[in-house]
Copies of this chain bind each other. A is one copy, B any other.
Amino acid sequence: MKDIKVIAFDADDTLWVNEPYFREAEEKFSNLLEDFLPHHSVQKELFKTEMDNLALYGYGVKSFMLSMVETIGRITDEKADIKLVNKAVNLGRELLNKPVEILDGVEKVLAALNGGYRLVMATKGDLLDQERKLIKSGLEKHFHHIEIMSDKKVSDYAKLLKHLDCKPEHFLMIGNSVKSDIIPVLELGGFAIHVPYHTTWAYEKVDIKIDDPRFFEAESIERIIDFIS
Contact = CB atoms under 8 A, between A and B. Distances in A.
Interface of A: 56-58, 62-63, 65-66, 69-70, 72-73, 76, 78-86, 89, 92-93, 96-97, 126-129, 131, 145, 148, 150-151, 163
Contact of A126 (B58, B86, B163): B58
B58 A86 contact: no
A56 B72 CA distance: 23
A81 B84 CA distance: 12
Contacts of A148: 127
A150 B148 CA distance: 11
A93 B69 CA distance: 13
Given A58-B129, A73-B86, A127-B150, 14 more contacts: A56-B93, A57-B62, A57-B96, A57-B128, A58-B128, A62-B66, A66-B66, A72-B82, A78-B81, A82-B82, A85-B85, A127-B127, A127-B148, A131-B150
| Dominant SS among interface residues on chain A | helix
B56 A96 contact: yes
A125 to B, nearest CB: 9
Which 4 residue pairs across A and B have the least CB separation, nearest first? A58-B128, A62-B62, A128-B150, A127-B127
A86 B70 contact: yes
Nearest to A128: B58
Contacts of A163: 145
Nearest to A53: B93
Contact of A78 (B69, B86, B96, B128): B86
